[in-house]
Amino acid sequence: MADFTPSHDPDTNPPVGPRVDSAPRPLPARIPHKGGSVDLEVLHPRHVPDLWQATQSDPSEASWAYMAYGPFASEAALSAFIGGFCSTHDPIAWAVRPHRSGTVDGWLTLMEIQPFNAHIEIGNIWFSPRMQRSRAATEAMFLLMRHAMEDLGYRRLTWKCNALNAPSRRAAARLGFTYEGTLRAVMTVKGRRRDTAWFSILAEEWPARAAAIRAWLDDSNWDQAGRPKASLAAPG
């Protein structure tokens, strides 16, 4: 982790933070989001049949290793979970429907929503193995990131994960999040200690991050076989 110098107002003694727009940000709305390769639909029990089929694409159950829930023993168990999960106000969950499959292959949320602090998090991301590391997966995350930072005007967007979750840490770095540190033994999940790694993007960093993701998602970056010509790397 790079050294961090706290921002401060140079005209104050002792030093305090710079003034910011302290107006509360709007709460995220339960609305769909449409992209070039994926659609996000507000999570609903009607998505359970597709999601149950999606869970069956992971016989190793590795995709659940770092989740606080799952795997689910039956479609009924998944249905009971989705029924509660889709009715909460924080997190707010969306189902992910890639255009190539036409089926719902996962979900993700906006959470830890703090309108008065202009802070919000993208998390609770579960994508089936067939959707992981795809254009649709990246765009699904970008659609909610863009909604939070551009439509709603949040100042701080965070990502956190189990510190042992290497794929999630790589995804955060690839999307342009800055690693802030690891909180040790901060949670107990499924009876096991969890150290949590934290990442963030601030409002002033967002334009460059967004431009990099948009360029990667653009049709001009994809060949006829559906492979990206250039990799997505954080700016700077």
Predicted confidence at residue 1, as pLDDT, reads 53
| pTM metric for this prediction | 0.94
Q: Is there a domain that residue 118 lies in? A: yes
Q: Is there a domain that residue 17 lies in? A: no
Give phi and psi for 133, each to the nearest 5: 60, 35
Q: Is there a domain that residue 176 lies in? A: yes
| Distance from C-alpha of 47 to C-alpha of 114, rounded to nearest angstrom | 28
187-195: long-range contacts, CB 8 A cutoff, minimum separation 24: 189/66, 189/68, 189/162, 190/68, 194/162, 194/163, 195/162, 195/163, 195/164
Q: Is there a domain that residue 60 lies in? A: yes
Q: Are 153 and 206 in contact (CB under 8 A)?
A: no
> Which residue is listed with tokens 């934290």?
198
| Distance from C-alpha of 190 to C-alpha of 173, rounded to nearest angstrom | 26
Predicted confidence at residue 12, as pLDDT, reads 85
Q: Is there a domain that residue 4 lies in? A: no
Predicted confidence at residue 204, as pLDDT, reads 97
CATH number at residue 87: 3.40.630.30
Q: Is there a domain that residue 14 lies in? A: no
Predicted confidence at residue 44, as pLDDT, reads 98
Q: Are 235 and 212 in contact (CB under 8 A)?
A: yes
Q: Is there a domain that residue 47 lies in? A: yes
State the residue range of the domain holding 187: 33-221
Q: Is there a domain that residue 119 lies in? A: yes
The domain total for the chain is: 1
pLDDT along the chain (236 residues), means of 10: 75 87 95 97 98 95 96 98 97 97 97 98 96 95 98 98 97 97 97 98 97 96 92 71
| Distance from C-alpha of 197 to C-alpha of 185, rounded to nearest angstrom | 11
Q: 68: closest CA among 56, 86, 85, 50?
A: 85
| Distance from C-alpha of 215 to C-alpha of 213, rounded to nearest angstrom | 5
Number of Cα atoms under 13 Å in the Cβ half of residue 163: 17
Predicted confidence at residue 17, as pLDDT, reads 87
